[in-house]
Chain A
């Protein structure tokens, strides 16, 4: 057993920290928030140049074949530096999905340009009437003479307003909540019959609710094999979830540092408020939760690569369930301990708070992951 980073991983972490925490930070975050799509093309190009966009993608298709630990290090730095560019929703999730589901031809047609930052994608999987369960799919694709006819609607498709193509899950057979019978399709956001209602998402980034009203797709829009899209979607979402946990950890660590610093400099009653035990204990609890969360992030980063599906799923769900609670705790304590300034738009603390609040809901909430974990862990 060994928890240490390799020297390459340490170098990667140093460079992503330098880029995100020292180079990007709150001021760049605010500038980028005023841009369309919350995305600065020059930053995205820079991330591509550094090789970070290629990192999670397979070597055979222009990627670097990095491990879960590798991209978790990147995600943690991006979370700490409040980087808005869509590393998870626009790169990791669609990239892994194509890598798991796509044919060689489909991979070669998309992944190299994804790695270079030229292609923008989004994955449309979540729907109304469900608790973010990827097997719950009411959107349908019917086979016809020209290919496939897509009907349905998708909820909160992250990064969709920036995307040229959506990867859409749709039912080609089976009942609404069956894992079998889900297929994946590549759909142009300009296709006839598709409409996007776009919006900024709390905490940064953009999303859209997508209506698919009789969208006619050619036969080769099918990604991989018919009816067998679920396992790839489930795996890709586990990767995205593990990375989201790492990103949240980055934000939590920054909030802890900022809060401890504030407690040391803010004076009331003639002394630093950090001399009061009631506040010291809250800060100590924040420290504990950051450390416990770091353990979970490391565990999930390693286990997400496990060839054993049960290990991968239960590890990621344990981590997400834990961090949903601990991230909320750390964010709430940080705001409380900053007092009035903590609830203002002016200070970065409130922005981290919103980022972590959104994290609690995205990629499955605590309840969903606890139930998924329970099903996987009862026999041990």
Chain B
């Protein structure tokens, strides 16, 4: 057992740190849950793409840098500590691994390079108004018509659909079989006729989410990933990747640093024993999460796919994100109350705290609610 970085890993870290220092765009403010505007996000992702680091988790054969698990971990930590936004996960963390595992060479060649370059942006068409936690009950219908599927239905909670070029989408191709078996995985061009995107404003006051209406949208059959009816298997594969990413260790590390610096800027808070102890509690929880995440990465490096244990990471990671934002907001007191109104005389961490606190209520709901994750875990340990 050895938990130290090798000299090679240390010089790798120095290289990343130096690059981030000169390339992360200002302001290097609070990152977690704060929506960056589309131009900033795209410019940052393309910059990483040009460097070859956007798809940093991908193997070299698919256009990634081919880093080890430790290097990927170092990269993400340095990215967050430098105050850079996390890249949008839909193409990179979700569709990418799916295409590598289930896509045809033609699909891989068409989509993966554009994702890795930050040139095409994706969204995820999963939830529907009547299908949230019971995702497999989804009703959006795709009927075969020659060389096309004709898609009709509605998706909801679609993050960044208003930015996206494409949507990967779960659709029902066979209503006659048990619900999990009739689902297929389709890639849909958001410019297709018949797609309408309507905004949903969330309780942080911002627009991240959308409803997506699909009316007689014609999708070429070559956009089917895997076999017809294999969509649920693919969806589960994707979700286990998504949940590992949702632990958010690096960004929580950054947020605790910001909390500490905000507290240090206020004498009354800095000297308060209860404030100090509460930050220590958050830090200790982060250490436990970090080492659990590292153990998962270590197993992944030995060729074991992430399984149900990623549900535990999702639960603890999102609970911690919420707890940090709660502390930021409560320690900020009145300084956290001005709503969407930047002020000069308050610490920026306290100012953004209410938005983060509000935004992050969604974290224990999305990606499979934390209650659904507990169902998954219970099944894994032999219950239910």
Among the listed stretches B166-174, B193-201, B282-290, which one makes contact with chain A, having 4 or more residues with CB under 8 Å of it?
Answer: B282-290
Q: How far is the CA of A377 from the CA of B257 in the complex (A)?
A: 11
Decide yes or no whether A302 CB sits under 8 A from chain B: yes
List the A side residues contacting B4 at CB < 8 Å.
Answer: 1
| B377 close to A374 (CB less than 8 A) | no
Among the listed stretches B105-113, B134-142, B227-235, B292-300, which one makes contact with chain A, having 4 or more residues with CB under 8 Å of it?
Answer: B292-300
| B3 close to A370 (CB less than 8 A) | no
Q: How far is the CA of A287 from the CA of B379 in the complex (A)?
A: 12
Q: Which of B277, B316, B373 makes the CB contact (< 8 A) with A367? A: B277
The distance from the CB of A372 to the nearest CB of chain B, in whole angstroms, is 9
The distance from the CB of A152 to the nearest CB of chain B, in whole angstroms, is 29
| B1 close to A69 (CB less than 8 A) | yes
Interface string of A353-376 (1 = CB under 8 A from B): 000000000000001001101100
Q: How far is the CA of A288 from the CA of B340 in the complex (A)?
A: 37
List the B side residues contacting A275 at CB < 8 Å.
Answer: 383-384
| B377 close to A287 (CB less than 8 A) | yes
CB-nearest residue of chain A to B283: A377
| B294 close to A3 (CB less than 8 A) | yes
| B1 close to A298 (CB less than 8 A) | yes
Given A322-B287, A370-B284, A378-B260, CB of A281 within 8 Å of CB of B295: no
List the B side residues contacting A1 at CB < 8 Å.
Answer: 2-5, 9, 69-70, 294, 298
The distance from the CB of A257 to the nearest CB of chain B, in whole angstroms, is 9
Given A284-B377, A288-B312, A292-B292, CB of A371 within 8 Å of CB of B277: yes
Decide yes or no whether B381 CB sits under 8 A from chain A: yes
List the A side residues contacting B17 at CB < 8 Å.
Answer: none
Given A280-B374, A280-B375, A281-B371, CB of A371 within 8 Å of CB of B280: yes
Given A3-B298, A377-B280, CB of A274 within 8 Å of CB of B384: yes
> Chain B: how many interface residues by the 8 Å CB criterion?
42
List the A side residues contacting B283 at CB < 8 Å.
Answer: 318, 373-374, 377
Decide yes or no whether A78 CB sits under 8 A from chain B: no
CB-nearest residue of chain B to A256: B381
List the A side residues contacting B378 at CB < 8 Å.
Answer: 274, 277, 280-281, 283-284
List the B side residues contacting A373 at CB < 8 Å.
Answer: 280, 283-284
In the complex, chain A residues 246-305 whose Cβ is within 8 Å of any chain B Cβ: 256, 260, 263-264, 274-275, 277, 279-281, 283-285, 287-288, 291-296, 298-299, 301-303
Interface string of B1-33 (1 = CB under 8 A from A): 111110001000000000000000000000000
In the complex, chain B residues 356-384 whose Cβ is within 8 Å of any chain A Cβ: 371, 373-375, 377-378, 381-384
Given A283-B378, A284-B377, CB of A374 within 8 Å of CB of B279: yes
Interface string of B262-296 (1 = CB under 8 A from A): 00000000000100110111011101110110110
The distance from the CB of A299 to the nearest CB of chain B, in whole angstroms, is 5
Decide yes or no whether B214 CB sits under 8 A from chain A: no
CB-nearest residue of chain B to A296: B288
The distance from the CB of B383 to the nearest CB of chain A, in whole angstroms, is 4
List the B side residues contacting A298 at CB < 8 Å.
Answer: 1, 291, 295
Given A2-B2, A280-B375, A373-B283, CB of A260 within 8 Å of CB of B382: yes
| B280 close to A370 (CB less than 8 A) | yes
List the B side residues contacting A377 at CB < 8 Å.
Answer: 280, 283
List the B side residues contacting A283 at CB < 8 Å.
Answer: 378, 381, 383
Decide yes or no whether B309 CB sits under 8 A from chain A: yes
List the B side residues contacting A302 at CB < 8 Å.
Answer: 1-3
Listed residue (B2, B302, B374) with the most chain A CB atoms within 10 angstroms of its CB: B374
In the complex, chain A residues 321-380 whose Cβ is within 8 Å of any chain B Cβ: 321-322, 367, 370-371, 373-374, 377-378, 380
- A/B pair count, beta carbons within 8 Å: 130
Q: How far is the CA of A299 from the CA of B309 in the complex (A)?
A: 19
List the A side residues contacting B292 at CB < 8 Å.
Answer: 291-292, 295
| B287 close to A299 (CB less than 8 A) | yes
List the B side residues contacting A9 at CB < 8 Å.
Answer: 1
| B3 close to A303 (CB less than 8 A) | yes
The distance from the CB of A2 to the nearest CB of chain B, in whole angstroms, is 5
Q: Which of A5, A280, A318 makes the CB contact (< 8 A) with B287? A: A318
Q: How far is the CA of A264 from the CA of B378 in the complex (A)?
A: 11
CB-nearest residue of chain B to A4: B1
Q: How far is the CA of A293 from the CA of B292 in the complex (A)?
A: 9
The distance from the CB of B327 to the nearest CB of chain A, in whole angstroms, is 14
The distance from the CB of B369 to the nearest CB of chain A, in whole angstroms, is 12
List the B side residues contacting A263 at CB < 8 Å.
Answer: 383
| A374 close to B276 (CB less than 8 A) | yes
The distance from the CB of A10 to the nearest CB of chain B, in whole angstroms, is 11
In the complex, chain B residues 315-341 whose Cβ is within 8 Å of any chain A Cβ: 315-316
Q: Which of B273, B291, B373 makes the CB contact (< 8 A) with A299? A: B291
Interface string of A217-240 (1 = CB under 8 A from B): 000000000000000000000000
List the A side residues contacting B373 at CB < 8 Å.
Answer: 284
The distance from the CB of B300 to the nearest CB of chain A, in whole angstroms, is 12
| B281 close to A370 (CB less than 8 A) | yes
The distance from the CB of A26 to the nearest CB of chain B, in whole angstroms, is 22
Q: How far is the CA of A291 from the CA of B314 in the complex (A)?
A: 13
Q: Which of B276, B287, B288, B383 makes the CB contact (< 8 A) with A274? A: B383
Q: How far is the CA of A298 from the CA of B288 in the complex (A)?
A: 10
The distance from the CB of A293 to the nearest CB of chain B, in whole angstroms, is 8
Given A263-B383, A302-B1, CB of A371 within 8 Å of CB of B374: no
Q: How far is the CA of A311 from the CA of B276 in the complex (A)?
A: 19
| B312 close to A287 (CB less than 8 A) | yes
| A288 close to B316 (CB less than 8 A) | yes
| A288 close to B284 (CB less than 8 A) | no
The distance from the CB of A110 to the nearest CB of chain B, in whole angstroms, is 30
Interface string of A57-83 (1 = CB under 8 A from B): 000000000000100000000000000
| B381 close to A284 (CB less than 8 A) | yes
The distance from the CB of A161 to the nearest CB of chain B, in whole angstroms, is 35
| B277 close to A280 (CB less than 8 A) | no
Q: How far is the CA of A298 from the CA of B284 in the complex (A)?
A: 14
List the A side residues contacting B309 at CB < 8 Å.
Answer: 291
CB-nearest residue of chain A to B289: A292
List the A side residues contacting B315 at CB < 8 Å.
Answer: 288
CB-nearest residue of chain A to B380: A287
List the A side residues contacting B273 at CB < 8 Å.
Answer: 371
The distance from the CB of B298 to the nearest CB of chain A, in whole angstroms, is 5
Listed residue (B260, B277, B284, B374) with the most chain A CB atoms within 10 angstroms of its CB: B284
Known A280-B378, A285-B374; further 8 A-B contacts with Cβ < 8 A: A2-B298, A264-B383, A274-B378, A287-B312, A292-B288, A318-B284, A371-B276, A377-B283
Can you list 5 contacts pairing A with B, beta carbon distance less than 8 Å?
A277-B384, A293-B288, A295-B292, A371-B276, A374-B279
Q: Please list the residues of chain B having a beta carbon within 8 angstroms of any beta carbon in chain A.
A: 1-5, 9, 69-70, 257, 260, 273, 276-277, 279-281, 283-285, 287-289, 291-292, 294-295, 298, 302, 309, 312, 315-316, 371, 373-375, 377-378, 381-384
